[in-house]
Amino acid sequence: MEFLYKLGLCSQLGFTRYMRQGRKLGEDPKLFIKDLQFGKVPVRIYQPRAPSAGRRRGVIYFHGGGWMFGSINSYEPICRYIARESESVVLSVEYRLAPEHTYPAQYEDCLTATTHFMKTAEDYGVDPTCIIISGDSAGGNLAAAVCQTLVGRPDLPKVHAQVLIYPCLQAIDFNLPSYQQNCAVPILFRERTAFYVLQYLKGDASFLEDVLEGSHMPVDVKLKFRKWLSADNIPKEFKVRGYKPKVPIQSSNEVYEAVKKICEPAFSPLLTEDAVVRQLPESYILTCEYDVLRDDALLYKKRLEDGGVPVTWYHIENGFHGIISLFDKGRLSFPAGKKGLDNIVNFLRSL
C-alpha cells in the first residue's frame, strides 16, 4: 500500500492519470524526437529525418484530457503519425494540469510554448509563416484561445491555420441539443464535462448542479451571448434525435461571482468578439455525432464562416468523443478514427 501512496495512486485522480499517462515510445526510423523546455514549459518536438528542399510547416499540438489528464507521452502515437504522414515538424506541449493548477495556467503554458516556437521556428527547420495551432477536446479549447490571443500580437508571424478536434468552446450552456442527446454516451458524459470545466476554473466541483441547470449565469448574461450560443444557429438535422429548449432561470449572485471567469474568451473562445473572429486564420473543425461537444464546434463553425474565415469541416457520423485517439489501438481501434486522423493529415498537407 505504501508503494501505491508513493506513486500517488490512492486517489481516483492519481490512479486515472497513471492509467492514462502513456509512455515514451522507442526511436522512430522516420523522426528525430527531442524533449525540450520552452521557458518553464516541457515540450517534445518531432522532426522528419528525410531531407527537405525548404523549411517545413510547423504543427503545435495541445493534448486533450479535460485539462486534468493527458501528457506528451499519452499523445506520442498521434503526434508521431501527424509528423510522419504530413511531413511536418510537430511540437507537443506538456501544460500544467488541474486541479493542482487552475485557469489560466494551462492557457498560459500553451501561449508561452507557442510564442517561443514562433520566435525560434527557423531553428527547427520550420517556416514561421506556416505554423498551425491544433488540439483535441480541452486541447482544442486551448488552441482556439491561443489563436484568438495571437490576433493581437503584431510582433509575431500570423498563425497560418487552426485545427480544432471536437473542442470544448463554452461553459455557459450545458443544455444544447448535443448535450441532451449524448448526455450518457461514453467516453464524455454531460455531467463529467461540467465537472472538468469547474476543476479547470477553480480546482473543485462546487456549484456543479447550478452549472448543469444553467443557473450559474444571470439571465442578462445569457441574453448577451444568445446571438452566438442559441440552438437556433445549429442546423435542423442535428436536432432530429431530440431537443427540448430550456427556459432560462435566474442565478444566485454568489454562484455567478464564483464562476464568472467562464465568460472570458480565453476560457470560452466561442464568446469572443466579432472583431477577433474576423481576423482568425483558416480553420479546420472535426466533430462527432455522438459527442456532447458537437454543438460547441458547430456554433463556432458558424461564427467563423459568418466572419469570413475559410472553414474545412469534417463530421464523423458514427463517431464519439475521443475517437481519434483510438486510431491505432489494435482490436480497440475504430476505422472512423483513423479516417478522421487521415483527413486532418490531408488538410495539413494542403496548406
Residue 71 is a catalytic residue: no
Catalytic residue among 71, 74, 137, 251: 137
DSSP secondary structure of 150-171: HTT-TTSPPP-EEEEES----S
For this structure, is 136 an active site residue?
no
- Centre a 10 Å sphere on the Cβ of residue 201 and count the other Cβ atoms it contains: 24
Place of cell 456554433: 299
- Selection from 178, 207, 183 nearest residue 195 by Cα: 207
Q: What share of the chain is helix, strand, coil (3-state, %, to 5)?
A: 45, 20, 40
Output the DSSP codes for 103-129. Answer: TTHHHHHHHHHHHHHHHHGGGGTEEEE
5: its cell numbers: 501512496
Alpha carbon distance 104, 314 (integer Å): 30
Active site residue 28: no
Cα separation of 134 and 161, whole Å? 8
Backbone angles phi, psi at 56, to 5 degrees: -90, 165
Write the DSSP assignment of 187-239 as a string of letters: T--HHHHHHHHHHHHHSS-TTHHHHHHTTTS-HHHHHHHHHHH-GGGS-GGGT
Cell numbers linked to 171: 461553459
Task: Please tell me which residue in 109, 173, 291, 296 is annotated as part of the active site.
Answer: 291
Q: Which of 99, 41, 36, 88 is nearest to 65 (CA)?
A: 99
Q: Which residues are catalytic?
A: 137, 291, 321
